[in-house]
Chains A and B, each alone.
Chain A
């Protein structure tokens, strides 16, 4: 069936995947992701962002597949410290702590870790299938988007975030508009006149959004970590042995409905812009509780395996579906997908509706690599969670300075421009302000990312439609549909507030 949709691209992708380098990139990427995900305070977003500069010398396919694998590994890895030391490795694993850590206290850490690995890997496979089915038709449809539609799509992406996240409309729009404005810094696309470049030659090409991402999602996170700290509690006796893993497999096999529910919730929420693993695991846990009988519902949080299944089946499922809007429309819905899009752009591919058309083989190879990667999560998780678990105990006082150094070095490495060091620092500070005052970080980043698309879409569309607002806005049925969607998301936000 898939072969009919894009035979050449799939063939090309399978060829790419057969390369030993690429397979090694998946093996290594998944392991690197799990290790960094397992370090408390290190999210999937940070892992992708910090490894992006390191992939620069590699060819795009290998580099991007490495990063996609690291992404999946890191989402799973975040659950390891949640279970072992009651500290989520990332926000997507907060809920995993509730029952996972209780199980550790009962001496059943290996059992909980094994269940986590099984449901994470399987849920990831389900979401990857959804991605493979839905991405091609959506990307084909997106090829019909003209200039005005691209501009409206950017506006829609910015308006749906407060609707999905429930944050203040004016704050989300302000963050988004500020991001778009940052995106216009540099030479304008028509006459190449410099705009707000502070006299910096490097800024003539604009503010690189990978640099902005490093500031907002890595350095700001480190500043924040310095204030928040974390908890590391003592060791617990751990039951070892194969029987724990066998028990884990039986626990999941006997609860297929619980697992499927979590995986589907995660897949659905992951596809929404602005909501990712952090939202999915809360929703999934609450749903699991709601569907349970009274006796079981009361025991959630006391160390039951249903809680771990609910949390971890949902968070890994968000990866595959979050890639749908990212790869087909060039609209990332979360920090992690924004980071991945940054890497795609850094490697010279054009993110946006044309991505499938121009680099179909690479995109399909990325999608297919998810199947290998998630199967690997299962293998790594079952065989080595005990070893990966060691990374959960790295003291936070070592993590803070190390990540700060990597943020600064990585910011510079993106394009070797000293001015980027200051941009990382500025956005690091700005990120703290945004988090404290509840502005959605994703809106700002999305603004910067969509800046170019929005500007060229607006300017070219405006000139082509005869500089008339009506002709521009009602350019096509797609444009009208997007206008309706924009209006809808504004109404939803207004109702939510």
Chain B
């Protein structure tokens, strides 16, 4: 499998070891961060505004802590042999790739990460450089990333698809992109 697996950190405390699957902390951690912001942002609001959101916020924090504790942390035996270790969900996760030999090397974590970066760049670039330019550049770059090498196909598809979307959304639906 070509995936990346976040590390499992082992902390020894006396004779016992505590194993923490850092990947499992990811979502609870993100939720906690959002909760902290939410708490900070709403701390001055009147009680009536938070009648529902307040208890919900505390319940969410509690669930995040419980999930982090239950899913990520496991206490190993006295000698540190980790037969009780939590199976890392990321490690166990096998998307059952049926990619043939030609596809190997194209569909990887690296290309997925690059796609994320390109998409983020595309979103950021939309306003400063305009919809058409940004879209054509994004389409061409992504097509290239996933293995299209024919310059005619690259240019033609990027331009055609971008203009098509522009016609539908900007000209027809009047979306001020």
Contacts and interface: CB of A to CB of B under 8 A. Distances in A.
Interface of A: 53-54, 56-57, 86, 168, 170-171, 173-175, 177-178, 180-181, 184, 188, 190-191, 193, 195-197, 219, 222-224, 226-231, 233, 396-398, 400-402, 404-406, 408-409, 412-413, 416, 418, 421-422, 424-425, 428-430, 433-434, 436-439, 454-455, 458-459, 462
Contacts of A402: 139, 161
Contact of B139 (A229, A401, A434): A401
B41 A196 contact: yes
B159 interface: no
Contact of A226 (B27, B59, B107): B107
Interface residues of B, number: 75
A38 B78 CA distance: 55
A409 B165 contact: yes
A311 B127 CA distance: 46
B120 interface: yes
Contact of A459 (B52, B147, B176): B52
Contacts of A226: 107, 111-112, 115, 146
Nearest to B141: A401
A402 B157 CA distance: 10
B24 to A, nearest CB: 6
Nearest to B95: A228
A231 B98 contact: yes
Contacts of B24: 437
Given A175-B27, A178-B34, 15 more contacts: A53-B173, A168-B71, A195-B38, A196-B37, A227-B107, A230-B107, A397-B147, A398-B157, A400-B142, A404-B122, A405-B139, A437-B71, A437-B89, A437-B90, A458-B51
Given A177-B59, A229-B99, A397 B111 contact: no
A305 B90 CA distance: 37
Contacts of A184: 52-53, 56
Contacts of B147: 397
* 3 closest cross-chain pairs (CB), A and B: A229-B107, A397-B146, A401-B142
B26 A454 contact: no
Contacts of B26: 433, 437
Contacts of B45: 188, 193, 195
Q: Give the secondary structure class of B's interface.
A: helix
B15 interface: no
B146 A400 contact: yes
Contact of A409 (B37, B46, B177): B177
Contacts of B177: 409, 412
A231 B106 CA distance: 12
Contact of B89 (A224, A422, A436): A436
B103 A229 contact: yes
Nearest to A176: B63
Interface of B: 2-3, 23-24, 26-28, 30-31, 34-35, 37-38, 41-42, 45-46, 48-53, 56-57, 59-60, 63-64, 66-67, 70-71, 89-90, 93, 95, 97-100, 103, 106-109, 111-112, 115-116, 119-120, 122-123, 126-127, 135, 138-139, 142-143, 146-148, 157, 161-162, 165, 168-169, 172-173, 175-177
Contacts of A173: 63
Contacts of A422: 123
A454 B147 CA distance: 47
Contacts of B126: 408, 421
A168 B115 CA distance: 30
A102 to B, nearest CB: 15
Given A405-B139, A406-B165, A430-B30, A191 B49 contact: yes
B169 A413 contact: yes
B30 A191 contact: no
B50 A188 contact: yes
Contacts of B108: 227
B41 A195 contact: yes
A438 B89 contact: yes
